């Protein structure tokens, strides 16, 4: 079936569909990861976006039920150079195309993804429409222009859990559970929960709309604000919750969670030209001077110049564009990172941060006692 990806600036890409048919709108971005397409598809942070994979062959190892980061895919569309109809992997349970059909996700193959990526790098991420039912180029460009985009839109409400739940999976032998952590689900990836469990945390996941008072009633040792999609400034209720928890208990923020903290501290956020999406983003730890490779997926960032340097210390920066990648409060037990220490997919260089969160909670408990 023929398919068209039309960008709001008039750029057109024609290809063939795989997956579901229909029409979808979203901001088109590119991801530089070579593997991990299933984890990318199921990352709730991609709600509202059409994802282009820069690696040319996608689908060759199929799909399985274990390598997911949420209960379903959240991307609006999936763009690849070549879709492999043959899935060769002992772990595979179905093809990528069937998985997309099953979850009503549009896919398009056969386009020049290198040209599309270079165009996004030059012009910036932009609104787009992916369609198999309307092949009129002018009409599609108009639809893309008139679509809502991401700025000012609250997408967290569309991906957060409906009610609280305790994360219960089989723990590694010898795991000792000592800390109770509440995770505010703004679009949390399962591997964040797995990593908290790995370092001995009992994990309670709550909807993003949960108030600070309700979180404190659970009596946690710490709170983690998770990753999530869209414009952070539009998620006012989470910003308010973050503000009310500052100074009351240890807080760890990841990706959108860092942006929530930045706004709660009185800072500002802004939209990046084409964002950071992939498993090869270099980050420098300013305390140690060491660099490591990180997994990232965000289109917005905290403006480091808007933060009060008397209270906030910048801990990490992106070595590609010098944007803010980490911060901590100088007096309170609070820190955050813009990248994804849980990986999935990608390198595990930053997983030590989950242990650091546990150490921060232990230190805070010792002070209280």
- In whole angstroms, give the CA distance from residue 203 to residue 182: 6
What's the pLDDT at 366?
84
Can you tell me the mean pLDDT for 259-288?
97
% of the chain at pLDDT higher than 70: 100
Burial class of residue 348 in the structure, from the number of CB atoms within 10 Å of its CB (0-12 exposed, 13-18 middle, 19+ buried): middle
The pLDDT value recorded for residue 169 is: 82
CA-based nearest residue to 329, from 242, 270, 271: 242
Give the start-to-end residue ranges of the domains of the chain: 2-146, 156-368
Three-state SS for 217?
helix
The annotation places the binding site for L-glutamine at: 45, 228, 230, 256, 259, 297, 299-300
Q: Express each pLDDT in 81-118 by its tens digit.
A: 999 999 999 999 999 999 999 999 999 999 999 999 99
Which pLDDT does position 170 carry in this prediction? 77
Cβ-proximal residues to 113 (8 Å cutoff; 6+ apart), any chain: 30, 52, 53, 54, 56, 79, 80, 81
Provide the whole-model pTM: 0.95
- We find that the CATH architecture of domain 2-146 is 3-Layer(bba) Sandwich (3.50)
Write the DSSP assignment of 80-126 as a string of letters.
Answer: -SEE-S----TT--B-HHHHHHHTT-EEEESS-HHHHHHHHHHH--E
Instruction: Enumerate the active-site residues.
Output: 255, 340, 342
**pLDDT at residue 29, rounded to an integer:** 98
CB-based contacts of 306: which residues, under 8 Å, 6+ apart? 262, 266, 267, 268
| CA–CA distance, 75 with 108 (Å, rounded to integer) | 13
| Binding site feature residues | 45, 228, 230, 256, 259, 297, 299-300
The class level of CATH for 156-368 reads alpha beta
Q: Angle at the Cα of 285 (from 279 to 289), degrees rounded to 5?
A: 125
pLDDT value, residue 289: 95
Q: Say how far apart CA 355 and CA 362 lie, in whole Å.
A: 11
Tally of CB atoms within 10 A around 289: 7
Average pLDDT of the chain is 96
Lowest mean pLDDT: which of 66-75, 130-139, 172-181?
172-181
């Amino acid at each position: 079936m023929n398919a068209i990806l039309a960008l709001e600036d008039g750029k057109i890409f024609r290809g063939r569909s795989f997956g579901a048919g229909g029409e979808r709108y979203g901001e088109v971005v590119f991801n530089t990861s070579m593997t991990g397409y299933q984890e990318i598809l199921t990352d709730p942070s991609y709600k509202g976006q059409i994802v282009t994979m820069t690696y040319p062959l996608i689908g060759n190892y199929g799909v399985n039920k274990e390598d997911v980061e949420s209960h379903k895919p959240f991307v609006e569309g999936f763009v690849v150079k070549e879709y492999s109809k043959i899935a060769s992997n002992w772990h595979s349970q179905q093809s990528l195309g069937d998985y997309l059909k099953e979850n009503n996700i549009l896919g398009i193959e056969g386009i020049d993804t290198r040209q599309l990526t270079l165009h996004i790098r030059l012009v910036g991420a932009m609104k787009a429409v992916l369609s198999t039912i309307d092949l009129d180029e002018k009409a599609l460009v108009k639809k893309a222009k008139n679509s809502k985009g991401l700025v000012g839109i609250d997408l967290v409400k569309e991906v957060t859990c409906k009610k609280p739940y305790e994360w219960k999976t089989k723990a590694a032998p010898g795991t000792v559970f000592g800390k109770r952590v509440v995770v505010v689900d703004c679009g949390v990836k399962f591997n964040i929960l797995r990593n908290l469990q790995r370092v001995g945390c009992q994990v309670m996941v709550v909807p993003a709309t949960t108030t600070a008072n309700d979180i404190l009633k659970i009596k946690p040792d710490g709170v983690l604000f998770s990753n999530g999609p869209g414009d952070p400034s539009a998620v006012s209720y989470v910003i308010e919750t973050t503000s009310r928890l500052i100074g009351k208990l240890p807080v760890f923020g990841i990706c959108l969670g860092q942006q929530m903290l930045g706004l709660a501290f009185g800072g500002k956020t802004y939209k990046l030209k084409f964002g950071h999406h992939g498993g090869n983003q270099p980050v420098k730890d300013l305390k140690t001077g060491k660099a490591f490779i990180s997994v990232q997926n965000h289109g917005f960032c905290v403006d480091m110049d808007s933060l009060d340097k008397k209270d906030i210390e910048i801990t990490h920066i992106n070595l590609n564009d010098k944007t803010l990648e980490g911060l901590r409060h100088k007096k309170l037990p609070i820190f955050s990172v813009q990248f994804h220490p849980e990986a999935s997919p990608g390198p595990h260089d930053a997983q030590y941060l989950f242990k650091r969160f546990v150490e921060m909670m232990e230190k805070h408990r010792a002070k209280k006692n």
